[in-house]
Structure 1
Amino acid sequence: MHEEWIPIVMFISIAVVVGLAMYFGYRTKHEMQATARAALDKGHELSPEFIAKLGDALPSPKSDLRRGVIFTALAIALALFGWLFPEADIQGIMVSVAAFPFLIGIAYLGLHKFGKQ
């Protein structure tokens, strides 16, 4: 019975972390817009730097490389973690799970290599 809770708690915790990250990103943008409205209502001019922060931030040229390296390293870590267990079933499962971030990392590395040419 208790073993059934392990994947349930794992997926719920991932959803909570992603949800909190999205919420705090929304909250930051909302507070910046409220600050801009208050400044405009008082008659202040907004600086170009502040207006640039209000827009969507452009990704840095190396963001695909960074994401690719992080996803690939995560995949390698998952695969190595799976190989620590002597049971072949667990090794196969962990290598299968590691395949997803590995392929995402390879895709990001490919986008970095061939994207801006």
Structure 2
Amino acid sequence: MHDAVPVIAIFGCIPLVIWIIMSQRNKAKAKTAEIITSLIGKDKDVTPEIIKAIGYVPARSHGDLRTSLILMALGAALFILGGVIPEEEAQQIFAGFSAFPFLIGIALLAFWFFISRHENN
């Protein structure tokens, strides 16, 4: 049991850090929306300069493409890692692990191809 505690702590920290980052990002977006709503409620003009000064960051163009390429590269890297390990079953196991990010990357690439790239024009 004592050997499992460091492993659980290391792998438990990863979701914790991701949750903290996402929570803080959501709080910042909610605060921005609250400020803009209060400005609109006071009949103030909300100009792009004010929105930029508040800290609103627009979505990146081609964000789906960027994310899909990163996930597909991660899937390919996991597949190659499985092939490099001299264990017989490693390639089969890592092929299964690599399928998840690779297929999600393909789905995001299709989403970008059929929808997102046409919205930017």
Aligned in 2, Cα 1:37/1:68: closer, same or farther, shift over 3 Å?
closer
Counterpart of 1:48? Answer: 47
Q: What secondary structure, in the 3-state scheme, does the structure 1 residue paired with 2:89 have?
A: helix
Write out per-residue CA displacement over residues 63-114 of structure 1, whole angstroms, 9 at most, x where no aligned residue: 1111110100111111122222100222222111110000000011111112
1:2-41 matches, within 5 Å, as 2=3, 6=7, 8-9=8-9, 11-30=11-30, 32=32
Task: Give me the TM-score of the superposition, normalised by structure 2.
Answer: 0.67
Does the 8 Å CA contact 2:36/2:46 hold for their aligned counterparts?
no
1:64-75 matches, within 5 Å, as 64-75=64-75
Task: Give me the TM-score of the superposition, normalised by structure 1.
Answer: 0.69
- Gaps spanning 5+ residues in structure 2: where? none
In structure 2, C-alpha distance between the alignment counterparts of 1:92 and 1:3, rounded to whole Å: 26
Counterpart of 1:76? Answer: 76
Aligned pair count reads: 112
**AA partner of residue 81 (structure 1):** L
Counterpart of 2:63? Answer: 63
In structure 2, C-alpha distance between the alignment counterparts of 1:112 and 1:13, rounded to whole Å: 32
Aligned in 2, Cα 1:90/1:3: closer, same or farther, shift over 3 Å?
farther
Does the 8 Å CA contact 1:33/1:54 hold for their aligned counterparts?
no
